[in-house]
Amino acid sequence: MSLVIICFAGFFAALVDSMVGGGGLISLPALLAAGLPTHLALGTNKFASSTGAVSSSYHYFKSGNLNKKVLTRLVPFSLIGSLIGVNVVLGLNPDFLKAMIIFLVAIIGIYTLMNKNLGLEDHYKEPTALSYMQGRIMAIAIGFYDGFFGPGTGSFLIFSLIKLFGFDFKKAAANGKVLNLASNLAALFLFLINGKVVLYYAVPMAISMMIGARVGTHLAVTKGSKFIKPIFVVVSFTLVAKMAFEMLSGVI
């Protein structure tokens, strides 16, 4: 029964994650509910979500929504940031990050909601040296966060790519997924060599995530930015509510 629940959770997590991020809202709690300790749940989730990210990235590539020039400059920094983040999380409790993340995701959600035209049209122009530098800083910072903790990574990537490079939501989701894949694979490597992946749960969840990612990517490509934006806002506020509830419950 645990495997069935985990597979269903994986499918819906990847479906949402391929469009706007936030899949960890669904998949990580499912693994924790199955009784896995935090570090094992993080590693197992990273294994499964990496396969979903591979599937999404492949289908976004086929759809022609990837910007190779931007990605080749940012992906290495996403890898480096994630490697540093996992090394930190394996030795620390990440709970102290929650308050800061709740605040940041809430601000992103409110800003997106208030700016009705944000991300609905593609305003991409040839990036400058400054925007590339800002992008590298963004990639290493969000890569670190993804390796260290994770929830909200997709939201941060999409919002940052829209603001820095003028992408619409569809292209930001596509390019953000490749950056997310890079940080996922780097983190997964360290989780694997440290024995933090439970394959009994990871493999079935990975298969269900590949299917969910395929469905989600198809919806994103065919429906476009007007379909993705409201989902982005809903997922952002859901993430804030979930993390705030967990913090309050821990305090109480």
User: 170, 221 in Cβ contact below 8 A?
Assistant: yes
Write down the pLDDT at residue 237. Answer: 83
Quick one: pLDDT at residue 252? 45
Instruction: Parse the chain into domains and list their residue ranges.
Output: 2-251
- pLDDT by residue (tens digit) across 94-115? 565 566 667 777 787 787 778 7
| Closest C-alpha to 176, from 6, 32, 18 | 18
Contact 164, 57 (CB under 8 A): no
How far is the CA of 101 from the CAs of 42, 95, 216, 231, in angstroms?
A: 17, 10, 25, 19
Asked if 50 contacts 177 with a C-beta cutoff of 8 angstroms, the reply is no
Q: What is the pLDDT along the chain (252 residues), one digit of tens a residue?
A: 788 999 999 999 899 888 888 788 788 888 988 888 878 888 899 899 999 999 999 999 998 999 999 999 999 999 999 989 888 777 766 565 566 667 777 787 787 778 777 778 888 888 899 999 999 999 999 999 888 777 778 888 999 999 999 999 989 999 999 999 999 898 899 889 989 999 999 999 999 999 999 999 999 999 888 888 888 888 878 877 877 787 777 654
Alpha-carbon gap, residue 194 to 40, rounded angstroms:
10
Give the relative orientation of helices 24-33 and 225-251 as an angle to the nearest 10 degrees. Answer: 40
Sequence-separated (6 or more) residues with CB below 8 Å from residue 247:
98, 99, 102
